[in-house]
Amino acid sequence: MPGFLTDKCAEIRNWLALGSEIYPDAVVTTWIRMAEEYLSTALRVKHMVQIDTSLITEDRVPLPRDWQEIRLVRLLPAKSVLRYQTPDGFFNPEFPEDPDSDLPGQQKRYTIIGNYLYVAATLEFPLTVEMSYYQDIPPLTDELNNWANYYHPTVYTLKILHVAALYSIDDERSLLWDKEVTRSVGEMNKAHLIDKASGSVLGFTRRKTFG
């Protein structure tokens, strides 16, 4: 039976009125991957938020491979929130201790350098941190759907079509697809900012996989 990826490839070809003999699944899949890359960078919506935990034995830990942006960092099991600090401020020994800290003599702060998350060296190791973060869109496969295709199929499909138009496909709808994607992404991100500030309808966050 056809899967999620195969069905998406067929859908895109139907929009373009082209057959698989002209653009087989292997080619259409490259358009899908480029669209996923763009939307992973441009979008910030609640369905992107994932949760990961890591045991830190030194002052740093690799970030999840699919991370785009950190949403929240907490220490477990106390659930104390770590506050972000710029790298310059983080490594400055004159930085004052947080007066509101519930960890006397320790500083609840973190910074990011490259793909590593650093926590204050005054904390006692090992410790467990929980990272809530915006993830990349998981690649669509025949076996696994992804949240973009499930929750936001319109903007997902239109971005794939726009990428297809960049692939030497002369389609007068290309500018309309690009314009609608830009508008939709802006509206979705704006709605998420409101959600973060005032709360939103309760939704379930999946861990790592989506089917």
Per-residue pLDDT tens over the stretch 101-135: 555 445 688 999 999 999 987 778 899 999 999 99
Whole-number Å distance between alpha carbons of 13 and 59: 50
- Tens of pLDDT along 46-73? 999 999 999 998 889 999 999 999 999 9
Label residue 38 exposed, middle or buried (CB < 10 Å: 0-12, 13-18, 19+). middle
How do the domains of the chain map onto residue ranges? 4-43+137-195, 48-134
What band does 177 get if pLDDT is binned at 50, 70 and 90?
very high
In the numeric block, which tokens belong to residue 92?
């400055």
The mean pLDDT value of the chain amounts to 87
133, 68 Cβ separation under 8 angstroms: yes
Backbone angles phi, psi at 79, to 5 degrees: 65, 30
Whole-number Å distance between alpha carbons of 207 and 87: 29
Q: What is the pTM of this model?
A: 0.83
146, 160 Cβ separation under 8 angstroms: no
Name residue, tokens 């936001």.
152
What band does 203 get if pLDDT is binned at 50, 70 and 90?
very low
Q: Where are the beta strands (DSSP E) in 99-209?
A: 109-113, 116-119, 127-135
